[in-house]
Chain A
Amino acid sequence: MRVVIVEDNVLLSSGLELLLAAKGFEVAAVARDAPGFLAAVAEHRPDVTIVDVRLPPTFKDEGIHAALQARSLHQDLPVLVLSQYVEREYARELLSDGRGGIGYLLKDRVGRVAEFTDALRRVAAGGTAMDPQVVSQLLLSRDPLAELTPREQEVLALMAEGHDNTTVADRLAITLNAVHKHIGNIFAKLGLSPTDSGHRRVQAVLAYLNR
């Protein structure tokens, strides 16, 4: 799987290269800023991209803009955005085009190699990967969620992170049937019609939460 990275900090980009090489990914290019990233994407047509939020020249949220721009230029380009802090607002913007293949994780998560590469593959396959912190920020802010049982909240949180039903069942040590039942209840309580696609479920949840 070919990856293009944009990360201005050499320490971090070399760490990412090391990790990706060890796990069998091919790093096609490492860009240092947004224009370099767009050029590298056009040149290498990667399977997935990894984007840092703070990039030169202003070190603000260039990465978010670069990710959105790349996705508007290259239909369905999978982008995993990494940041040293997560903001619900950025998640909303990244998800706003309503397409899959998007991830938004804290850089802390990269050290969890298996989980990180899992998330990267999920994004590359058109799914989503939301940092648990984004999800918890979302869940905290919405009162109607209080109607959900604690178990349903757990299921919703895992769904929002982008996990499929099997993983949710594994994580919570419950049966797949139980997961289906919980999801049905959640959608019913939140007034959403159930679907099975991982990222569409997240979008539905986020769209509702950010209404």
Chain B
Amino acid sequence: MRERWTQTRRSAGYLLVSLVTAVATLVALPLLVWPSKARAWAHWHRRRAGRLLGVPVPARPTPPHGEPRDGWEIRTAPATRRGLLWLPTHLLTGLPFGLAALLCLGNVFTGLWAMALWWALPAEAIPTLQGEIPVDDWATALTAAPLQVVVLAALFWWGGPPLARAHARICLRVLSLSEAQQLTQRVEVLTRTRAGALDSHAAELRRIERDLHDGVQARLVATAIRLGVARDALDEAPEGVTELMREAHEGIEEAMTELRNVLRTAYPPILADRGLDGALSALAAGCGVPTRVHVEDLGKVPAAVEAVAYFVVAEALTNTAKHGRATRAEVRVRQTGTGLSLQITDDGVGGADETLGTGLAGIRRRVLALDGDVLITSPQGGPTMIEVEVPCG
């Protein structure tokens, strides 16, 4: 009961405010057809409607920092269209719905007022009930007036909330994105955040590589040098000490080797030193098969993508040298609209099988981890071609 009372009260407020804003819409129409104003006005209504229906309404997307305004306007065109559509819709629904509420509630108040105060008013200001019934004696004041109050209050009690909800639903329907638009927007958001994640991942990789190089690795080397000098100077050590120092020294050497392997597999140091172009040329120079590398002028490529490209080419060229019986290989790297495209071909015997050995599977695993695509064509008799595309953001 109490809940119903709150509902009715809120519906009354909602409908009356809708009436006011509908009138305001009519008055301020020349101003509201301005796209940004239309969007803001529509969004305000949408939030109100959402509050009434208890439906969450997403925050209004703001232009991303640094994005050209034109691009933003174009991408928000659907939102602008909806905002403009809302103007007539609101006039057609907000005005009648709000007027109905105003009439209903206004006459409830007239009834109450007439019932209690008719006798205090001058003759020319006598209140009139619906049906042109003047309230000029106690009989009318205590029968017709309460009847009007009860009937209209009941009418609003019964009809007010559904009316308000209907307006709110229409509002959300007009102003909400279609499913396809929602998905598009979601994809846009994800693409943006994904690029951000890749970038910060790249920065982290570089930082970790540098920190380990300058810190842990340097300290291990310095310690190994001191141990080496100490061992060298140790002529007559007590029983077991020489052995312990040898073990300690070997332990440090193993740690250095392991650390180097970890770094190499996480982010090859030559990438940090020479960039993708230089690192790939180094791979090609070291490949047993004469290999040509074409790297087009690459823009900014996230380090994580560079690392994947490096590993893919390394793995592919290893396969070529080991199994392909090739006389020539070629690596092409170029930037496409959305990412980095790699193509590794050789003139070997083909027949590369992903299910045998881990090389090709490793390529696929690394590329898929970055949401990329792999296509391997290797018919018996060759040639073998590995095509990889990795999105850059």
Contacts and interface: CB of A to CB of B under 8 A. Distances in A.
Contacts of A53: 273
A87 interface: yes
Chain B interface extent, by class: 35 or more
Contacts, number: 99
A80 B228 CA distance: 19
B218 A12 contact: yes
Contacts of A114: 232
A11 B219 contact: yes
A137 B229 contact: no
Interface string B199-229: 0000000000010011001110110111111
B366 interface: no
B253 A108 contact: yes
Nearest to B210: A59
Interface string A133-171: 000011001110000000000000000000000000000
Contact of B269 (A12, A85, A112): A85
B264 A110 contact: no
A210 B286 contact: yes
A111 interface: yes
A15 interface: yes
Interface of A is mostly: helix
Most chain B CB atoms below 10 A, which of A61, A87, A92, A138: A87
Nearest to A114: B232
A84 B232 contact: no
Contact of B287 (A9, A15, A141): A141
A111 B221 contact: yes
Interface in B233-281: 233, 249, 252-253, 256-257, 260, 263-264, 269-270, 272-274, 278, 281
B282 interface: yes
A18 B269 CA distance: 28
B270 A89 contact: yes
A84 B221 contact: yes
B282 A113 contact: no
A141 B252 CA distance: 29
A19 B229 contact: yes
Interface of A: 9, 11-12, 14-16, 18-19, 22-23, 53-54, 59-61, 84-85, 87-89, 92, 107-108, 110-114, 116, 137-138, 141-143, 210-211
Given A111-B253, A113-B228, 11 more contacts: A12-B225, A15-B222, A19-B225, A85-B270, A89-B281, A89-B282, A108-B224, A111-B252, A113-B231, A113-B232, A143-B289
